[in-house]
Amino acid sequence: MAVARADGVALGRARGVVGNAGPHRGRRWLALGCLFGCVAVAVANAAESSHELPGGEALRVCADPHNMPLSNDRGEGYENRLAEALAADLGRKVEYTFFPQRIGFVRNTLRSRDPTTRMYKCDLIMGVPKGYELTATTQPYMRSTYTMVFRREGVLAGIQRPEDLLALPAEQRGKLRIGVFTQSPANDWLLRNGLIQQAVSYSHQTGDPELSPGDTIERALADGDVDVAIVWGPIAGFLAGRHPKEWASVPFRPDPSIKFDYEISMGVRRGEEAWQERLDEWIAANRERIKTIMAEYRVPLLDEQGNIIEQQSSGN
């Protein structure tokens, strides 16, 4: 059908210039070609909307192939685990469209169509902020918060809360190198507490699409480039779980002036209300199951009142 659209436009242009058909005949061919293209897209849309759920027999998930602990192409992340659980309950198998989760992710996955079938490449992003502007969002399935992660040694051995770092003697506190990602609440916290000069800044997006933010921070801490890092909670908890005897993670509680905590939902295309409602139902029925998966990855979770939910897990 995509070929019909391209051929129709090309044929219209050819007949409008060559032979005895004349320009009006050419424009009619051009209009007919465009009509074929519109019909092709309409048929593809009808095929996807004829069922309550998109994707036929598969749960088609949009994901990053190198973004642990969220997802990878080996199915090891917590978003992979959630997708498998959801697919099993829907009686489907999981199929992925992988793309680095950076600028253009939604455009190249959830909103992108296969050039041959004209079907969307995937139908679900497993994790987006509640109210995300580029997708419709389900009800949240977790609430997490930014978190400190550090080697449990020296002056940091007794840190139990972020406030404990601020209570260190000025001479000790002033020597700490604190890793942060640009444009994150960590920068605001450092600025508020007079520590911004000690920041070691990293970019979320490097030139290597296989290098995740977690990889960047793990390497920086392991090599001694920073003493502490302040990152998104799932990353911090996962890294502490990979080094359970040497590293620790300490989450930030909700703050009235700095937004540390975020609710995470699933993302779908706007206008697919039945699909969104089905996902909402699944989330509501599986909250304890979801919480168990998050505990295995040491994801710091907050309850509805903003209290940190204590978890017992040896990590993943």
- For the chain, which residues make up each domain, given as ranges? 2-49, 58-141+261-309, 148-251
d(CA 149, CA 174): 18
Contact 134, 104 (CB under 8 A): no
Looking at the predicted structure, is the pLDDT value of residue 54 above 90?
A: no
Lowest-confidence pick of 76-80, 100-104, 233-237, 255-259: 100-104
Beta carbons of 206 and 231 less than 8 angstroms apart: no
Residue 21 — very low, low, confident or very high, per pLDDT cuts 50/70/90?
Answer: very low
- Mean pLDDT of the region 153-160: 96
Percent of the chain with pLDDT over 90: 77
pLDDT band at 207 (very low <50, low <70, confident <90, very high): confident
Residues 6+ apart with CB under 8 A from 43: 1, 118
Same CATH fold assignment for domains 58-141+261-309 and 148-251: yes
Q: What is the pLDDT of residue 146?
A: 98
Q: How would residue 53 be classed by pLDDT, with cut points 50, 70 and 90? A: confident
List CB contacts of 230: < 8 A, sequence separation 6 or more: 146, 147, 148, 149, 178, 179, 180, 184, 186, 189, 190, 252
Residue 39 has pLDDT above 70, yes or no: no
The conformational region for residue 164 under phi > 0 = left, psi -120 to 50 = alpha, else beta, is alpha
Compute the average pLDDT of residues 3-11.
27
Q: Per-residue pLDDT averaged across 55-60, rounded? A: 88
Kindly report the number of other CB atoms within 10 A of residue 119's CB atom: 17
Judge residue 113's burial from the number of C-beta atoms within 10 Å of its C-beta, 0-12 exposed, 13-18 middle, 19 or more buried. Answer: middle
Give the H or E element holding residue 281.
helix 273-285
Rg (CA), the chain: 25
pLDDT for 250 beyond 60: yes
Angle at 32 between CA 30 and CA 37, to 5 degrees: 95
Tell the burial category of 296 from Cβ atoms under 10 Å away from its Cβ (0-12, 13-18, 19+): middle
The alpha carbon of residue 291 and the mean position of all alpha carbons in its chain are separated, in whole angstroms, by 18
* Residue 52 binned pLDDT confidence (cut-offs 50, 70, 90): low
- Residue 249 φ then ψ, to 5°: -130, 140
Q: What is the pLDDT of residue 310?
A: 81
Question: Which fold, 58-141+261-309?
Answer: D-Maltodextrin-Binding Protein; domain 2 (3.40.190)
At 40, is the pLDDT very low, low, confident or very high (cuts 50, 70, 90)?
Answer: very low
Which homologous superfamily is 148-251 in?
Periplasmic binding protein-like II (3.40.190.10)
- Pairing mode, strands 228-232 and 178-181: parallel
Q: Is the pLDDT of residue 149 over 70?
A: yes
Output the average pLDDT for the chain.
Answer: 86
